[in-house]
Amino acid sequence: MTSEHNQRLAALRAALKARGLDGFLIPRADEHLGEYVPESAERLAFITGFTGSAGLAIVLADRAAVWSDGRYVLQLDQQTDAALWERLHVMETKPEDWLAEHAAGKRIGYDPWLISAEGLKRYARSEMVPVETNPLDEIWLDRPAGPMAAAVPQLEAYTGESSAEKRARLGASLREAGQDATILSDPASLAWLFNIRGADVEFTPIALGFALLFADGTASLFMAAEKLPVETRAHLGNQVELADRTALPAALAALAGKIVRYDPAAMPVWFKTALQSAGAKIAEGQDPVALPRATKNAVEQAGTRAAHLRDGAAVVRFLAWLAQAAPTGAETEISAATRLLAERAKEDHFKGESFPAISGAGEHGAIIHYRVTPESNRPIKPDEVYLIDSGAQYLDGTTDITRTIWTGPGPAPADIKDHVTRVLAGHIALAQLVFPEGVAGPHIDALARAALWQAGLDYDHGTGHGVGSYLSVHEGPAGISRAAKPVPLAPGMILSNEPGFYLPGAYGIRLENLVLVQHANFPAQKRKFLRFETLTLAPFDRALITPSLLSAEALSWLNQYHARVYAELSPLLDAPTRAWLAAASATI
């Protein structure tokens, strides 16, 4: 691995020198700046070896550094060569500071397709030079071709609104804002707007492409022709002009004099430059799809409830199996995850996992984004903590659930139960919260942590992320985290509620349900309040809960939740599983 990455680094340096560049920026990103990128865009992994979902490298002539965040500290050290790379944490050493320090007066190249305008702005102290073609692609001789999966229609029975209606609605909002058109570079925005789904990347049913939406509700969709079968073309209709990705520069050049929305935080800076060159006027603003996509309509809400019911049945069958299997020590992290996947695959409308399952026994549970491999796989042993965070894509909804299990057969130690119960108290504090309109995720994140904080404990990840409707399991714009943008929570948003606690080298705890923002009705109040409807249906492990540490209100919530889990799932289960669930969800 060392010599291979050594050669690649040397080749890149030679390529940079040939272009008159002193350095190059390599974000972990594709042209859509999303979380899941196709293999063909895994340039960061190619050059550094690091395969985490967030990272960045900077290569200079005489030094190179690679960054990631708290989730990947260990993985970054394991996968990259210290002789080639400084391995840095983005919160401790900012890449822009490192660059300003080590490359003063140097010409640093970047690929304008792989960074947003705001992302680029951070490097304003350095001399940043856009490249026409990515020098990494020159030296990556066996780079895979881009994905070419077919885009298929997503039926209105699941979306609740036709593409024409969506385009008319968003076109009207563009007109209201005095804008002629908007760039769309997020494939999940295309999926929502055109009611299509694809298979270009793992876990998220998107078809890679770009689009222009115009104020009159018409659109241009830039997607390779071979990805658009006849039925999809018919579905898109004659208000959507189809063109190849290569037609994009000409289409932007035709926007001279138009006012075009561009999201400087989320869209490649290439678009900004192209619009400016074309003589278009840029109206900075968020992707107009982001908020409508996040606020699910009644049909999508019914769909996600149905998906969660089936997913809950599959998860409960898995948990009932695990309760038998775990104390034997015969199962492993991989075999358990495989079993859960098999249970889900039995359900209607199942399309695959929504992200790589995190199946972590004992100390592996403390690695927040642990992904089991054949090398890391280990048995699930008796009397330890086992964490499984997984989710599925169904045609009618996306799921994401984490449960933390005591494998038994012995009782769990009091300190572990104390930690789990504090995490549960935080989970419940959010689950039962009522809050006025205007409140955003960063404002309520602390409620999920306060019980841990009182004991000097915390967790190094956000409390919640948005979730799509048979789309991305990590969907913007709202999130429950101090670092999230303060996007007011709104009815129809689906978010995760997943506080945790991690004792490195020992165990990890995370308790995650998805919740749906709903109106809370207080008669005689002028002010509008909201609440969370919990979507996920599966019991929390009673073996890890110390009821006396929960407030009366929290315990009451837990018992009501468990009663609901039993009432909704038991009709779907066979007798032995139903009996297991009855015991697992009995009143505490």
Residue 564 is a binding residue for a copy of itself (CB under 8 A):
no
Judged by CB under 8 A, the residue of 40, 102, 306, 529 near a copy of itself is: 529
The smaller minimum CB distance to a copy of itself, of residues 452 and 538, is found at 452
Phi, psi at 549, each rounded to 5°: -85, -5
Which of 192, 180, 197 lies closest to 292, judged by CA?
192
For position 128 contacting a copy of itself by CB under 8 A, the verdict is: no
Among 70, 237, 249, 438, binds a copy of itself (CB under 8 A): 438
Q: Does 256 help bind a copy of itself (rule: CB under 8 A)? A: no
Give least dist CB 527 to a copy of itself, A.
Answer: 6
Asked if residue 234 lies in contact with residue 257, where contact means CB atoms within 8 angstroms, the answer is no
| Cα torsion 189, 513, 316, 160: sign | negative
d(CA 580, CA 96): 55
Stretch that binds a copy of itself, among 52-60, 160-168, 465-473, 522-530 (CB under 8 A): 522-530
Nearer to a copy of itself, 61 or 453 (CB): 453
Minimum Å distance from CB 320 to a copy of itself?
35
Exposed, middle or buried: residue 124 (CB in 10 Å: 0-12, 13-18, 19+)?
exposed
Amino acid at 18: A
Pick the stretch among 69-77, 186-194, 252-260, 523-531 that binds a copy of itself (CB under 8 A): 523-531
Q: Which range of residues in 6-14, 279-287, 289-297, 435-443 is near a copy of itself by CB under 8 A? A: 435-443
522 makes contact with a copy of itself (CB under 8 A): yes
How many residues bind to a copy of itself according to rule CB under 8 A?
Answer: 31
Alpha carbon distance 581, 318 (integer Å): 11
Kindly identify the residues of this chain, within the stretch 440-459, that bind a copy of itself according to CB under 8 A.
440, 442-447, 449-450, 453-458
Q: Min. distance of Cβ 293 from a copy of itself in angstroms?
A: 25
The radius of gyration of the chain's CA atoms, rounded to the nearest angstrom, is 25
b/e code 30-66 from CB counts within 10 Å (16+ = b)? bbbbbbbbbeebbbbbbbbbbebbbbbbbbbeeebbb
- Tell me the closest approach of the beta carbon of residue 387 to a copy of itself, in angstroms: 21
| Three-state secondary structure call for residue 54 | coil
Task: Measure the CA–CA gap between 365 and 452, rounded to whole angstroms.
Answer: 18
Residue 540 makes CB contacts below 8 A (sequence gap 6+) with 403, 424, 511, 558, 562
Stretch that binds a copy of itself, among 22-30, 260-268, 271-279, 436-444 (CB under 8 A): 436-444
Q: Is position 345 an interface residue for a copy of itself (rule: CB under 8 A)?
A: no
Stretch that binds a copy of itself, among 60-68, 201-209, 322-330, 525-533 (CB under 8 A): 525-533
**Piece of 258-266, 425-433, 464-472, 556-564 that binds a copy of itself (CB under 8 A):** 425-433
Minimum CB distance to a copy of itself smaller for 131 or for 506: 506
Q: For residue 449, what are the contacts with CB-CB under 8 A and spacing of at least 6?
A: 426, 458, 459, 463, 499
Minimum distance from residue 557 beta carbon to a copy of itself (Å): 12
Task: Please give the Cα distance from 258 to 337 (Å, whole number).
Answer: 52
Using CB under 8 A as the binding rule, whether residue 527 contacts a copy of itself is answered as: yes
- Site for a copy of itself (CB under 8 A): which residue of 410, 413, 436, 547? 436
Largest Cα–Cα distance of the chain, in whole Å?
A: 73
By CB under 8 A, residue 2 contacts a copy of itself:
no
Give the DSSP letter string of 415-462: HHHHHHHHHHHHHHHHHT-EEETT-BHHHHGGGGTHHHHTTT---SS-
Instruction: Collect all residues with Cβ–Cβ distance below 8 Å to 518 and sequence separation of at least 6.
Output: 491, 530, 531, 532, 533
Using the minimum distance from each CB to a copy of itself, give the nearer residue, 4 or 458.
458
Alpha helices in 198-239 (DSSP H): 230-236
Burial of residue 149, with CB atoms counted within 10 A of its CB: 0-12 exposed, 13-18 middle, 19 or more buried: middle
Cβ proximity to a copy of itself: between 309 and 520 the closer is: 520
465 forms beta bridges with 479
Residue closer to a copy of itself, measured from CB, 111 or 445: 445
Closer residue to a copy of itself, CB minimum distance, 345 or 446: 446
Q: Which of residues 542-561 bind a copy of itself (CB under 8 A)?
A: 551
Q: Which residue has the tokens 């358990």?
A: 336
When asked if residue 177 is in the footprint of a copy of itself (CB under 8 A), the reply is no
Under rule CB under 8 A, residue 104 binds a copy of itself:
no
Residue 465: CB minimum distance to a copy of itself, A: 17
The verdict on 486 binding a copy of itself (CB under 8 A) reads yes
Select the span of 16-24, 163-171, 265-273, 431-439 touching a copy of itself (CB under 8 A): 431-439
Considering the complex, state which of residue 338 and residue 432 has its C-beta at the smaller distance from a copy of itself: 432
Torsion of CA 200, 206, 211, 215, to 10 degrees: 170
The vertex-555 CA angle with 554 and 561, nearest 5°, equals 90
Provide the minimum distance between the beta carbon of 494 and a copy of itself in the complex, in angstroms, as a whole number: 21
Q: Which residues bind a copy of itself (CB under 8 A)?
A: 429, 432-436, 438-440, 442-447, 449-450, 453-458, 482, 486, 520, 522, 525, 527, 529, 551
